[in-house]
Structure formats: C-alpha cells, structure tokens
Amino acid sequence: MTNVATGAGTATTGAQIVSEDDVVRVEDLRLSFYTTLGVVRALNGVSFNIPRGKVLGVVGESGCGKSQTGLSIMQLTPGRIEGGRILFREFNTSEEIDIVKLDKNGPEMRKIRGNHISMIFQEPMTSLNPCYTVGHQIEEAILLHQTQDKAEARRRAVDILRKVGMPNPERIADSYPHQLSGGMRQRAMIAMALSCNPTLLIADEPTTALDVTTEAQILDLMRELQHEIGTSIMFITHNMGVVAQMCDEVAVMYLGRIIERAAVDDIFYNPKHPYTISLLRSIPRLGVARGQKLESIKGTVPDPYSTVPGCPFHPRCPAAIPGLCDAVMPDEVFVDGSRTHTVRCHLYT
Amino acid sequence: MDTAQKNGKSDEILLEVRGLKKHFPIQSGFLRRVTGYVKAVDGIDFYIKKGETLGLVGESGCGKSTTGRTILRLLDPTAGEIIFDDPNIGKVDLAKLNRAQLKRVRPNMQIIFQDPFSSLNPRLTVGQIVGEPLEIQKVASGQALKDRVAELLQEVGIRPENMTRYPHAFSGGQRQRIGIARALALNPKLIVCDEPVSALDVSIQAQVLNLLEDLQEKYDLTYLFIAHDLSVVEHISDRVAVMYVGYIVEMASTEQLYYHPKHPYTEALLAAIPKPDPRKRTRPIKLPGDVPSPANPPSGCYFHPRCRYAEEICKVERPPLRDIGGEHWVACHFAEKLQLQGVTPLNEIPLVELPKRQATAPATTAAAT
C-alpha cells in the first residue's frame, strides 16, 4: 500500500465514475488559499462528473470545499487552482473545453460564465444589485450573451419571470430588490440564472436562507424547470432532506475531498463511508426514535491550516484502523462491483 | 383556556401567558409621529408545565422570537400577563414587575441565543462571560467564582483550561456551548432557547441537542424551544405551538400536531419539510402569496388569503384559539370538519450500522505512522 496522499492523481482516476454524456468532468482539482496565517488546501484532488440533465447534489459540512468547487467551475474562486482539469462540454458539441486553462477574465471564459454555466447564490439579499431593477439585471445577461435588441431582451426577461412563477412579471421587472420578499428575490435569481438556457446551473445553497414553505416551493420550481429546460444542476447544500428531495446523484465531501459518490437512493439506503453513515444517523427523523439521543459525530472538523495525515476523517471515525487510516490516504474504489457507487475508505479496499 | 389548565394540573404549570401583546410603533415623517403599529405578537395564550419542552415554530417574522424575549422582559409587553412560578417568591406576573423585583426573578429564567458569533462579547474571556451572571447576582466571587465557572464549562463539554481564552478562538458549536454554560450559571428553572442550533452544522447540531436534553434531565429544566426546523422541534419537544403572524394557530402534543394536525397552516408547514428519504418525494401544498405583514394584516382569519379550505366566514371572523379535546388547541372555524394530512414517519430508511472491522480499535489512538 503506497501513500497516495501525494500521488492521488493517477490512483483515483481508476475508480472515477464517468458517463457517456457528461456536461462537466472535473479531474483531480486542487485549490489552495495563500493567507498570512498559512496555506489552506481547500480542495485536494476532487474528481467527479455531472451527467447531462441530472441533478448532482454536493453535500458536506461548512469548510469542506463544496462552495469552492462550484466557484472553481465558474472561475470565480479567489483561491489558486494548482492542478487538475475541469472539462466542460456545451449542448450539441463534442468539443471539451478545459476551464482551468482559460484566462479568468478572457473572452472565452466570459462567454461561458453566465451563459453556458450560471450560478445561484445562497443569499438572495446580497447577490442582487440594490441599485438596479430586477428586470434590468436579467436583461443585462441576455444583452451580453443572446441578443443586441433591447426590446427583445426586455420581452425575454418578463417571459422568464413569468416562468419562475412570479404573479405579475411586468411589475416585478420594474421593481427593485428591496421591494421583494426573500422567496421572490430567490425566484428572480433563478430567473436570471436561467435566462440564457444554461447547460449547467450551479446552485450554492439556494434555499438555506428561506423558510420551509418557501424552500419547498423553490425546490419544486427548480425541479419543474430542470425537466423543462434539461439543464444539469450542481446542487450544493448541507441539508440531507433537500438532497433526498432534489438530487439524482450525490457526492459527499469532507475536507476538500469527495469521500463517497453514488445515486441518491444508494446514499440513503446503502451508505458505505463512516462519515456518510454518521451524518445520516445524526439528523433527527420524523417519527423515529423520539425521546432517544441523537447520534453525533464526535469532535469537530479540524482547523483548515492543519493537514491531517492519512484519511482526513480518521480522528472522528468510529471504525478507524490504527496504523492504516492515520497514515495512508485511501483510494477511491467501486463498492461491491458497482459502477455507480464509489467510496474512499480503507474498509472497502 | 383557564378551565383546562385548572384540571388538576395548575400546580405544575411553570409559566402561563395570557393575552400577551407586543406592538412596535411605526414612526414616520420629520416629527417621528406614530403612524401605525407592527403587531408582532397580538394576544397569545399558552402555558408551559414544569420539566417539559414547548416547541414554538413558525416562519420568519411570525413573532416567535419576540414572544421569547417578551416573556423574559427583554422587551416590555404592550399588554397581557406573564405568570411565572418562581421557586422563592411564588407566582408573579412578570409584566408588572419593576427593575429591582425583576432582578430577583431573573436568575430563574435565562435565554440561549441563535447566533453564537454575536451573542458572546468578543472583549471578554470565556471565564468572564460565564461568570458575569454570578457576579451580577453576587452569588460567588474570587476562587469560588472560578471554581463554579470551571464546573459549568466542564458540564457543557469545554475544557476549563480554556477559561482565559476569547470567544474568537472557538468554533460555532463550542461557542454555543459557552452560551449554554452562561445560561446555566444561576441554576435557572426556565430557559428560552431561541433557535439554538440553526446556525450549526448537522453533526454539531446533534451534539448540542443531546447536551440540551442531558441538562434538562439533570437539572429538571423547562425549555421554550423556538425553532423553524420542524424535524428538530419534533425530536426535542413534548408539545408544540405553531405561530402565524402574531397568533398561535395550533398547539398540541407533538404526536397530535405532527400526525393529526387540525389547522391548514400546520398541514402546509408539515408538507414542506424536506424529508430525508429519496423514495418519498413530496410536493408542497401551494401557498399562494406571501406571509402578510404584521403591520397590515388581512381581515378575519389571517391565514384565509392563502388557505385552500377558506370560506366566507374566514374573511370576516377571526377564529379564537379553542380546545377541541385532549389539550389540542386550534384557531380554525373548521377544525373538526377538515381531514388534514399529517406527516408519515420516516421509518423505512434503514439506520445503517457503522461498519466495524476492528471493533477494539480506539479511534483516537496516536498509532505509529
């Protein structure tokens, strides 16, 4: 058994799930932040694919790198990408573009960003510009990527607002963000993100700031639109309930690595990694074991400046094997001969 | 309401709230004239029995936090009575007490805040934060104070050596534990938990919920647990009250409320919970429009513009909160007639056992690498 923490690149690709028609294939992505306090290795070799027309859920606790993965695909991350490839394929083309190689501010990247790949952010309050009307902000993207005709852009903006279930789209297009409620703002954000019919939509905790009833309606809307437009969605969240309701496939992240990847049904009914299992055991379930203690994962996520030798989860893992888990980084392997379920854990190697 | 409470249980009631109102004035113009009121809490009645946990749920802006703060007199109520059974003084109406009298009752009622990042003073050490209530109430000083603080920190799972450190050195979950230690300092009877776990990660949330349950058992605490996560509330509460625009619309035991809801708003809330089971995908009940503003609420039942069962009477007359049997309180004209859908238990998903290849292996052993 070799220490793969250093040479993970070649070792991991052996067990990576790929499909015939991937919109995005991320290979061994590494991202670091150089701060005055030290280097934070945010992503340590992340590999995954997003099949066309599917919803991939990315789950994990704060600081596990799920948002940075999304931002890297958009080339919006403030960190430094130190290795790996992000291969992106548009609708109806077979040509793959490596986003990592593109200039952040160059014309190719600007053509992709907001047009072929768009993003919804967590805070609908802070991600809309308070100085412009909602309609203006949606038209901006359309004018940039789709048409030069202002009247046409306006028509499309109102159309898309109607599509996301706004009661009075003409009036909403002329309102400023502060005049709308949180749920309405998030709908406006979704409208903006979908205005150019993107190939991939990255949704970074789109419902975390919303109330349950609003959340349920936004999720319902996203599901409907996804069926209609056929967009692939990368759905970043920490809520296992939302994952179960929304996603087709799930990638579980821990400290900058994907530690388990499977179809949503397998993640909930046949989880393999001790972290995934513990996460599922720690959420309160309706009608189950009321009055009993919840199981919790002991300890906390280690401090980002430190590096954990071996498997990053071993200090908190109830099944850790001394001498192995704390020394050697496990490879990503297929579970029980399945071609759709991978796990990164010594229990299965 | 009074009759039900006096059915032999009145001696066990720790806190009883009657007709509690909290209105915030809206000022406008140069002279800051009062042009209206935000009726954040508009006449609510409930009671909490000793040693139980009452969950208080509702959407943002429905007045649940205002209720919690008004009960502790962190906000002064506009009207109503807050009758607290103080172990030393006996029953007192908190709404009528002055500063000096309040100070005598305060040790018995404490609060845990939502945001562990803003509720701890960054300029005080953890020891000072937890010791402050003890100093203010002159319970302990000097070495005795230090010992008590160390004991409290130990109780919530923080190493007492950390007493001299500042809050920034701790993670969110640890800070919430410090907040809990501060609330426990004076051996309170009632703790208002205002969204204590909503800012925490899932794994940490379970730790803090377990801690709250352990402490409740050990010190016979009574909780008013304010939250918007309905799965968490179901787990921890004995009874649950649902608020909508300043009113309690339904209050019942947890089983009754979750499995046999009687108010259409409760039904919609329950349907909206994202259930962690991919084989049970649910579609939400469409609630048209937004939550009305408490400054300008609709006529009649506040929920009628969004309610799919609404009839003429709902537009005109506001239904009172009434007991339909078995301490199940509902404010709906059609509570008895409606057949509403509760939640279905999520017991199909297997709770997967953690794999154990080496059962004896202690996880934290610093084995030779």
From chain A residues 164-203, the ones with a CB under 8 A of any chain B CB are 167, 181-184
Tell me the average pLDDT across A51-75. Answer: 92
Q: Is the pLDDT of residue A2 over 50?
A: no
Model confidence at A338, pLDDT cuts 50, 70, 90, reads confident
Q: Nearest by CB to B209, which of A167, A219, A294?
A: A294
Phi, psi of A57 (to 5 degrees): -90, 135
Tell me the one-letter amino acid at B111: I
Pairing of strands A232-237, A200-204: parallel
Task: Answer yes or no: do B59 and A212 touch at CB < 8 A.
Answer: yes
Model confidence at B3, pLDDT cuts 50, 70, 90, reads very low
Helix (H/G/I), strand (E/B), else coil: A117: strand
Model confidence at B11, pLDDT cuts 50, 70, 90, reads low
Predicted local distance difference test score (pLDDT) of residue B44:
94
Mean per-residue pLDDT of chain A: 87
Phi, psi of B250 (to 5 degrees): -155, 140
pTM, two decimals, is 0.86
**ipTM above 0.90?**
no
The label of the residue with tokens 């040509």 reads A95
Tell me the one-letter amino acid at A172: I
Model confidence at B209, pLDDT cuts 50, 70, 90, reads very high
Mean per-residue pLDDT of chain B: 88
Q: Residue B214: CB partners within 8 Å, gap ≥ 6?
A: none
Q: Is the pLDDT of residue A288 over 80?
A: no
Phi, psi of A3 (to 5 degrees): -80, 105
What's the distance, CA A51 to chain centroid?
Answer: 13
Instruction: Please indicate whether residue A9 or residue B90 has the higher confidence score (pLDDT).
Output: B90
Of all helices (H) and strands (E), which one includes residue A234? strand A232-237
Q: Residue A301: CB partners within 8 Å, gap ≥ 6?
A: A61, A62, A63, A64, A255, B201
**Segment B172-194, tens digit of pLDDT:** 889 999 999 999 999 999 999 99
Predicted local distance difference test score (pLDDT) of residue B281:
85
Predicted local distance difference test score (pLDDT) of residue B239:
95
**Segment A105-122, tens digit of pLDDT:** 999 999 899 889 999 988
For the ranges A7-11, A209-213, A271-275, A302-306, the lowest mean pLDDT is seen at A7-11
Predicted local distance difference test score (pLDDT) of residue A209:
78
Model confidence at B10, pLDDT cuts 50, 70, 90, reads very low
Helix (H/G/I), strand (E/B), else coil: A23: strand
Tell me the average pLDDT across B284-313. Answer: 88
Residues of A in contact with B307 (CB under 8 A): none
Q: Is the pLDDT of residue B280 over 90?
A: no
Residues of A in contact with B170 (CB under 8 A): none
**Segment B111-128, tens digit of pLDDT:** 999 888 889 999 999 999
Predicted local distance difference test score (pLDDT) of residue A14:
53
**Segment A239-273, tens digit of pLDDT:** 999 999 999 999 999 999 999 999 999 999 999 99
CB-based contact, A292 to chain B, within 8 Å? no
CB-based contact, A66 to chain B, within 8 Å? no
- For residue A293, what is the DSSP state? P
Compute the half-sphere exposure of residue B225: CA atoms within 13 Å on the CB side of its CA.
Answer: 29
Predicted local distance difference test score (pLDDT) of residue B14:
94
Q: Is the pLDDT of residue B348 over 90?
A: no
| CA distances (Å), origin B20, targets A79, A193, B175, B318 | 52, 45, 32, 17
- Indicate which of A125, A186, A245, A303 best probes the interface with B, i.e. most B CBs within 10 Å of its own CB: A245
Which among B41, B37, B115 is positioned nearest to B71, based on CA atoms? B41
- Indicate which of A212, A270, A295 best probes the interface with B, i.e. most B CBs within 10 Å of its own CB: A212
CA–CA distance, B188 with B75 (Å, rounded to integer): 19
Tell me the average pLDDT across A183-212. Answer: 89
CA–CA distance, A313 with A334 (Å, rounded to integer): 19
Task: Answer yes or no: do B201 and A238 touch at CB < 8 A.
Answer: yes
Which among A95, A277, A90, A334 is positioned nearest to A349, based on CA atoms? A334
SS3 sequence of chain B: CHHHHCCCCHHHEEEEEEEEEEEEEEEECCCCEEEEEEEEEEEEEEEEECCCEEEEECCCCCCHHHHHHHHCCCCCCCEEEEEEEECCCEEEEHHHCCHHHHHHHHHHEEEECCCCCCCCCCCCCHHHHHHHHHHHCCCCCHHHHHHHHHHHHHHHCCCHHHHHCCHHHCCHHHHHHHHHHHHHCCCCCEEEEECCCCCCCHHHHHHHHHHHHHHHHHHCCEEEEECCCHHHHHHHCCEEEEEECCEEEEEEEHHHHHHCCCCHHHHHHHHHCCCCCCCCCCCCCCCCCCCCCCCCCCCCCCCHHHCCCCCHHHHHCCCCCEECCCCCEECCCCCCCCCCCCCCCCCCCCCCCCCCCCCCCCCCCCCCC
Instruction: Please indicate whether residue A117 or residue A209 has the higher confidence score (pLDDT).
Output: A117
Helix (H/G/I), strand (E/B), else coil: A111: helix
**Segment B125-179, tens digit of pLDDT:** 999 999 999 999 998 889 999 999 999 999 999 999 999 999 998 888 899 999 9
Angle, to 10 degrees, between the axis of helix B264-272 and the axis of helix A212-229? 50
